A and B are shown apart, each in its own frame.
Chain A
Amino acid sequence: MNELVLEGVGKTYSGRRALRDVSTSFAPGQITAVLGPNGAGKTTLLGILSTLVAPTTGRLLWGDEILSRSSTARGAIGYVGHDPGVYGDLTARENLTLFAALHGVAQPAARGAEMLARVGLPDAPADAPVRTFSRGMLQRLALARALVHAPSLLLFDEPSAALDPAGADWLQGELRAERAAGRIVVLVTHDLDAAGDVADRVMVLRRGRLTFDGVTAGGFSAAAVRDLYREHTRD
């Protein structure tokens, strides 16, 4: 797997600069927590990494390929956002089978069942549409959907926002498992403790600028993350 490199990436919406000249890289086998106050550009950055948002300036390089909406590498991206990203009128299995098939996974139904077991939903009601699921079940399904094609780049936007403490612990375990599998994991969160628990690297954004980007071999403590956040988001 290759590093994902951002070169001078910026985004402007109707004259408002949401992201300014961000140059950095994301390494495989590393969890990067992206922190910052509301409106700092975190979700815009995630949107650009996912290729759903086109940068106004700069470019993304993944290996030899420029990552964009038309690049084939798009198929190696998994995204877990605020919403589950599934069809409420389909069952969990039908959703996973659909997305596995769209990604060209052989035996999509079997892969869907495998992913349901992995995220702890093996007994998800076979006939129940997912709109009847609890928020926690939906978040597990969202993760299964994002992982169904074994992506190399995993993007998470506030994934634990609606989870109870047990669910949040489970999610952290999943993030670590993905890191161990050598994937690039980018986590946008307001939960500084969670960031401290799992992140190998912390990035802080403020008003669209990257104000801190640091890696430590042993990871960050929650207290260290809080200090970093305060220091680098101060006016």
Chain B
Amino acid sequence: MTSPPGQRVPSFLSQVARIAAKDLQIEWRSREIVATMSFLAVVVVLIFSFAFVVGDARPAPAVTAGILWIAVIVSGTVGLGRTFDREREGEAIRSLLLSPAPRGAIYLGKLVATVTLMLVVETVLTLLCGFLFAGGVLQNVGRVALLLALGTVGFSAVGCVFSAALLRSRSRDVLLSTLLYPIVVPIVIAGARGSSQLLDTVSPDLDGALFWTQFLIAVDIIFVTVGLWAFEPVAVGD
């Protein structure tokens, strides 16, 4: 038996990157989570479009924003539900927790991967909403994208903690939504209100959207900080 050459504890950020890259590598190969999330998101938008797009009539900006965020939350919940499935199968979570990677690095690695997958789906979603509902989505696409990205970080920050906590729960899919939705209400309100103000093609309220953007930044900081703290006790290998 030979000892491994030159062993040294990797940096926190390199552990985060390794764990995120591993999740993205698996997803790139299977495209399982992104395909499921995208399908669900597109179905939600299409169902709403049947109700709200009649002839040349288009839904009001507030309605479009609501549809966009409903699709984000619903598809994101499905993605979060699968976030730790790969760790559970084959008990890879035990090997991961036994590695010198701090729990915080595992949490942030999973968070980065989840946010990346959700952003891929949201790109499709935003384009679809722009096409079906309102030109305003594409007119202020940078600001809308920023709101979506910030909302996604906060949503995933809470979701990753619950997903890890429910790792061994049989009814984790039901419990995840039940626990997650009440806590992410501020994110949904901020995202929907901010988006609504940007989607108004006649007089977009940029100051109002800026307020909600700043609000989401503050919520993200709180949620990620609490997530780092809460992940430590909930990530268990037994």
Residues of chain A having any CB pair with chain B under 8 Å = 47, 50-53, 72, 74-75, 77, 79, 81-90, 94, 98-107, 111, 114, 118, 129-131, 145, 147-150, 177-178, 181
- Decide: B8 and A106 in contact? CB cutoff 8 A: yes
Question: What residues on A are CB-neighbors of B95 within 8 Å?
Answer: 79, 85-86, 99, 145
- Decide: B9 and A75 in contact? CB cutoff 8 A: yes
Residues 1-15 of chain B, each 1 if its beta carbon lies under 8 Å from chain A, else 0:
111111111100001
- Decide: B1 and A89 in contact? CB cutoff 8 A: no
Q: From B50-58, B72-80, B83-91, B205-213, give the one contacting chain A.
A: B83-91
Cα(A181)–Cα(B2), bound, Å: 9
Closest CB in chain A relative to B168 CB, distance in Å: 13
Q: How many residues of B contact A (CB 8 A)?
A: 34
> Which of B3, B8, B92 contacts A104, CB < 8 Å?
B8
Residue of A nearest to B19 (CB): A102
- Decide: A85 and B6 in contact? CB cutoff 8 A: no
- B101 touches A (CB below 8 Å): yes
- Decide: A87 and B22 in contact? CB cutoff 8 A: yes
Closest CB in chain B relative to A159 CB, distance in Å: 14
- Decide: A102 and B15 in contact? CB cutoff 8 A: yes
Closest CB in chain A relative to B94 CB, distance in Å: 5
> Which of A83, A99, A178 contacts B99, CB < 8 Å?
A99
- B35 touches A (CB below 8 Å): no
Closest CB in chain B relative to A3 CB, distance in Å: 20
Tell me the chain B residues, 8-38 only, with Cβ under 8 Å from chain A: 8-10, 15, 18-19, 22, 25-26, 29-30
